[in-house]
Amino acid sequence: MSQPKRYLDIVKDIRDMIRQERIKPGDRIPSERELAERLQVGRSTLREALRSLELLGLIETRRGEGTFLSDHRNHSLVEVLSTFILQDNQSHKDVRETRMIHEISAIKAICRNESLKELLVWDSFRKRLAEDSGFQREDFVRELMILSENRLSLKIWFLLKQYSGKPYTGEVTLPEKELMEEILTAIEQRNEAEAVSKYAAWNELLTKERMRNGNDS
Amino acid sequence: MSQPKRYLDIVKDIRDMIRQERIKPGDRIPSERELAERLQVGRSTLREALRSLELLGLIETRRGEGTFLSDHRNHSLVEVLSTFILQDNQSHKDVRETRMIHEISAIKAICRNESLKELLVWDSFRKRLAEDSGFQREDFVRELMILSENRLSLKIWFLLKQYSGKPYTGEVTLPEKELMEEILTAIEQRNEAEAVSKYAAWNELLTKERMRNGNDS
DNA sequence: ACAGTATGAGTGGTCTGACCACTTTCAAAT
DNA sequence: ATTTGAAAGTGGTCAGACCACTCATACTGT
């Protein structure tokens, strides 16, 4: 845990600076060269951090002009989520719960989505689940989030996942795989209650496992 | 559209390469130096692309060892997520739905919260609802969000409320007030289904009213 | 006096080559 | 046979150099 992910520290530094200097959405932030100077890092390293911020939609870069704080509203969303999660380690429970809120809602949305009724999606989905050893819990849930077709919810979920450490790690055990199958089946049959119930069971299993492994954080 | 966002092209190139060479999750991908050579780009530029892939959770880098394909290989996802994150042209429908997700979850959480069982909260709540003419829909929902005791969810809800313009405006009509009362009653009785159902009915009423007033956005 | 043009400073985008810190490997020393 | 340590390979960082682009300014020609 010596110096992991320096560019993430820089992200934090930049955010602090922005807050201190009262830079508002739409404003220009200092140039890369000046930032590198002030933060005492190389310009390429700094650029890696800026790339991250850009991916998250926090900044916008315009060649020849400069780098600007994105005035998109999701700016504050990301901002709040990151500060909330980064500086308050008592709130992991809230993060986990909120992520579950979105996952459950996604399952329900899929059940209600008519256009997915006769989809080949499920075949490939199930096939990957059965055959692909690389198909992990993350992928399973992410697919569900995408299928829910609420991109905002997907984005929030994605951010929560980023910030909340590693929620779904470790081996996928057999009983888990069965539960995942059952969730799929329930969704296919449009059985909301059953799907959610199976999801809850799966989640409980994961929680237990996390406890057993002492995987807190 | 001349040459914007080179690093995104590189992301695509890397993905193609991975597919062509049948690299599996967990496998090592070529070193940065070799990749830069093969893709004919500088190493720093390549690293910006790798940073993006890392943020998206597609690869994992270990100092001294190499860069590895992370435990998922849905590279179609990269496109979905990156384009989504980059230019978030989300619809208001998503915002409204997501807000509802949190509101419904809040109601459910309150129903399940033991510590609120014998609360005087409800008395004052109902009293304000009946007597206070300044007590608006906003306040009603906000109180619920607060009572749910998930601060993160509350924060997200606040933001969503800001984004989506004025979701709950206009006069509070009598039938609405009745529905709000019924929601309260159902919550008091720990009747989740009923509470959610009443909430849905209320929301439908609001939607209709919004339509009538041509209050889009 | 005006309109159009050229110049230069500043910015992000890219490339290169050089270190550093770390891990793995394997041959030499014990 | 075991231990040691030197070398090679890797990601992480840095500095400096161009390039391409934008913008503001000063300079032209009429």
The pLDDT tens digits of the residues spanning B49-97 come to 998 888 766 788 999 999 998 764 344 444 444 444 444 445 667 778 8
Which residue blocks in A57-191 are alpha helix, DSSP H? Answer: 74-87, 92-112, 121-131, 137-147, 151-163, 174-188
Would you call A98 and B7 a contact, using CB atoms and an 8 Å cutoff?
no
Chain B interface test: which of A8, A76, A101, A110 (most B C-beta within 10 Å): A101
Would you call B152 and A84 a contact, using CB atoms and an 8 Å cutoff?
yes
Q: Whole-angstrom Cα distance, residue B66 to residue B71?
A: 15
Residue nearest to nucleotide C23 (CA to C1'): B64
Residue in chain A closest to B160 (alpha carbons) equals A77
Considering Cα of A15, then A21, then A22, then A24, what sign does the dihedral take? negative
The percent of chain A in helix, strand and coil, each rounded to the nearest 5, is 65, 5, 30
Residue from A29, A197, A207 nearest A108 by CA:
A197
- What is the structure's pLDDT at A130? 74
Q: Which nucleotide is nearest to B37 (CA to C1')?
A: C15
Instruction: Show the tokens assigned to B90.
Output: 């989300």
Contact A110, A148 (CB under 8 A): yes
Q: Whole-angstrom Cα distance, residue B102 to residue B88?
A: 21
In angstroms, how far is D11 C1' from A195 CA?
43
Residue from A174, A195, A200 nearest A183 by CA:
A195
Instruction: Show the tokens assigned to A71.
Output: 């005035």
Q: Whole-angstrom Cα distance, residue B162 to residue B157?
A: 9
Residue in chain B closest to A50 (alpha carbons) equals B48
Helix (H, G, I), strand (E, B) or coil at A69: strand
One pLDDT digit (tens) per residue for chain A, 217 residues: 445 677 778 888 888 888 888 888 889 999 999 999 999 999 999 999 998 888 777 788 999 999 998 765 555 555 555 554 444 444 567 878 889 999 999 999 999 887 766 666 677 778 777 776 666 777 788 888 888 888 778 878 877 776 665 555 556 777 888 888 899 889 988 899 999 999 999 988 888 876 666 544 3
Chain A interface test: which of B9, B71, B80, B86 (most A C-beta within 10 Å): B71
B45 CB less than 7 Å from any atom of strand C: yes
Q: Whole-angstrom Cα distance, residue A160 to residue A165?
A: 9
Q: What torsion, rounded to 10 degrees, do the Cα atoms B125, B128, B129, B135 define?
A: -120
pLDDT higher for B85 or B160? B160
The pTM of the full predicted model, rounded to 2 decimals, is 0.60
Contact B61, B54 (CB under 8 A): yes
Q: Which residues in chain B touch residue A47, judged by CB atoms under 8 angstroms apart? A: 44, 48
Contact A122, A190 (CB under 8 A): no
Q: How many CB pairs under 8 A join A and B?
A: 120
Contact A82, A163 (CB under 8 A): yes
Contact B164, B215 (CB under 8 A): no
B2 CB less than 7 Å from any atom of strand C: no
Helix (H, G, I), strand (E, B) or coil at A189: coil
Strands of B94-137 (E only): list them.
none
Instruction: Name A28's bridge partners.
Output: A68
Q: B189-196 contacts: CB < 8 A, separation 24 or more?
A: B190/B111, B190/B112, B191/B111, B192/B107, B192/B108, B192/B111, B192/B112, B195/B107, B195/B108, B195/B111, B196/B104, B196/B107, B196/B108
Strands of chain B (E only): list them.
28-29, 59-62, 66-69
Q: Whole-angstrom Cα distance, residue B200 to residue A28?
A: 44
